[in-house]
Structure 1
């Protein structure tokens, strides 16, 4: 298989393979390792504050002098209403009691103590730190931010989960689109929080390719040469991989979480809003089964902020029932090699097709 060149040239990389952001899993070391093998490393900034974002960017710069990508959440922040306040109180109490029943002592934050960050405060940091590649998910950036970033030479990669979203991104001047199939692990990049298009990746990729004229990256189910080849045949010029790096040496997952990957089967992988208030694909556990389809799920980002302390405590207790392990549908042998070796093996496999 010959690699498509258009995205590799745009991103100044040797191979058009993009390490997925995976907030909470990827690390500056993973980003640098991806760059070292000639792929694009992506630093996940999610909805961190400006100061936290700057610190992570600077930490990554110490490990690589190559232009890595940064990724942010272009999310809508719901207004705090009386109904939301009351629901927050009920949800907090329910989750604390659920945790206590499982011998996890947690003190979840009150609504007034939660700090919600908008992506707008990250834009200046990204520009000031000289980042030249920005990918984003959960929606589209506003026109003023797009103009400001472009004036500072930042290449923009938006995420779509439907043809409609792809057309919006193209019309607004986004340079590259990452097409995310429903089988992809982690959060859905869907613009609408409630009504997510559940479109299989290869069907979506083919349709988006027919409707837009800018280069496409594909994300969802890529774990070996055959899956990359299929995406290439349907129009992908770049390939975003995430789940294959979950158990890597540079992954932030702890040993008990990596062990959980080895026993997973196809029935265990579900879409859920329970941890964050936005749909994400991961491994089913007690928390997900209890909260899904219940009244105790707040809109994003409030649910995400509320459950953050619970997940931290569960990690310290090695309790898989109360942590989120995001995972795509393509089950395989989750390698514990270094990111460099995992990507190198994938590249070699692709060359043999």
Structure 2
């Protein structure tokens, strides 16, 4: 199998396999392990404060001199209103009571105590660190940010969950598009927080391939050679894997979280807005069941900021019922090997499957 293509040449990698930027799971060590076998590591910055973005970028650079991408959230920030503040206070009380009923004591922050970071600040931090590959999700960059990054020689990778979103990205001058299939784990990359395209991944990939001309990365359900080759046949030049790496040695998931992963059944995996206010795919638990169909879900990022302390306390106490454990629909054994070994095994298996 010939791995070299437009994407490998542009990104300076040997294999067009991308380690997914899983916020809260991916570590600098995971990124480095991916780069060691010639793949593209992706460092998630999410909506961290700019100074924290710089800190983790520098930590990753210390571990590896090979190319890696950084990933940011580019969502719009909802306007602060009295109604939003009232809803926040009500959701806070509801969630604290729920946790207390389940034996988990948590003191969630008041609205005035939370801090919202805008992605434009991340763009400046990324340029200051001279990062040359930037991927993003939850929308499209504004024109000024695109021009800033392009002027710095940065390759831009946008995320789409529909043909319309792919066309918007291409028309904006985005270099590469990551097509996120419906089966993918974690947050949906949809531009609109309450919008949920339900087209299956491979069908979407095929349609996006026909609709745009830029190189495509496919993300969603890739966990072995056959799924990778299927996406290649339908037009993908790059292959993003996330859930496959959740149990890896470099994953930030705690041992008890990895153990829960390895017991997961297909009926346990759901889409939910309960933890963040945006649709995300993960393991169903007490919190999701109690919150999902209530009025106590705030718009992103306020729901995520509200539940952040809850998730920290639950993790410290080993309580999986108040944690967000994100994963996709393709269930694997969630190997505890290093990220390097898992990706190398995928490469070797793919070469055997393709007959080369």
TM-score normalised by length of structure 1: 0.99
1:288 has 2:285 as partner: no
Structure 2 CA distance, aligned partners of 1:37 and 1:199? 33
**Secondary structure at the residue paired with 1:109?**
coil
Indicate the residue corresponding to 1:142 in structure 2: 142
Structure 2 CA distance, aligned partners of 1:309 and 1:28? 23
**Secondary structure at the residue paired with 1:352?**
helix
Structure 2 CA distance, aligned partners of 1:278 and 1:26? 20
1:327 has 2:327 as partner: yes
Indicate the residue corresponding to 1:11 in structure 2: 11
Indicate the residue corresponding to 1:103 in structure 2: 103
Contact 1:4 1:237 in 2 (8 A): no
1:248 has 2:248 as partner: yes
Contact 1:274 1:292 in 2 (8 A): yes
**Secondary structure at the residue paired with 1:42?**
strand
1:293-345 per-position Cα deviation (integer Å, ceiling 9, x unaligned): 11110000000000000000000110000000000000111100001100010
1:57 has 2:57 as partner: yes
Structure 2 CA distance, aligned partners of 1:132 and 1:82? 41
Contact 2:4 2:14 in 1 (8 A): no
Structure 1 CA distance, aligned partners of 2:135 and 2:270? 25
Contact 2:13 2:67 in 1 (8 A): no
Indicate the residue corresponding to 1:347 in structure 2: 347
Structure 1 CA distance, aligned partners of 2:64 and 2:162? 35
Contact 1:4 1:238 in 2 (8 A): no
Q: Residue 103 of structure 1: CA displacement?
A: 1.1
- Considering only aligned residues, what root-mean-square deviation do their CA atoms show, in Å? 0.6
**Secondary structure at the residue paired with 2:117?**
coil
**Secondary structure at the residue paired with 1:303?**
helix
1:310 has 2:325 as partner: no
**Secondary structure at the residue paired with 2:2?**
coil
The worse-fitting range, judged by mean Cα deviation, of 81-90 and 231-240 is 81-90
Contact 2:94 2:296 in 1 (8 A): yes
Structure 1 CA distance, aligned partners of 2:106 and 2:318? 15
1:22-53 per-position Cα deviation (integer Å, ceiling 9, x unaligned): 00000000000100110000000000111000
Unaligned runs of 5+ in 1: none
**Secondary structure at the residue paired with 2:125?**
helix
Within 5 Å, give how 1:1-353 maps onto structure 2.
1-3=1-3, 5-353=5-353
Q: Residue 4 of structure 1: CA displacement?
A: 5.2
1:85-131 per-position Cα deviation (integer Å, ceiling 9, x unaligned): 11101000000000111111111001111000000001111011010
1:156-201 per-position Cα deviation (integer Å, ceiling 9, x unaligned): 0000000000000000000000000110000000001112111100
1:206-261 per-position Cα deviation (integer Å, ceiling 9, x unaligned): 00000000000000000000000000000000000000100000000000000001
**Secondary structure at the residue paired with 1:56?**
helix
Q: Residue 82 of structure 1: CA displacement?
A: 1.3
**Secondary structure at the residue paired with 1:205?**
helix
Structure 2 CA distance, aligned partners of 1:77 and 1:196? 19
TM-score normalised by length of structure 2: 0.98
Unaligned runs of 5+ in 2: none
In the TM superposition, structure 1's runs of 4+ consecutive aligned residues that sit over 6 Å from their partners are: none
Structure 2 CA distance, aligned partners of 1:313 and 1:92? 15
Q: Residue 70 of structure 1: CA displacement?
A: 0.1
Structure 2 CA distance, aligned partners of 1:196 and 1:55? 34
**Secondary structure at the residue paired with 2:249?**
coil
**Secondary structure at the residue paired with 2:63?**
coil
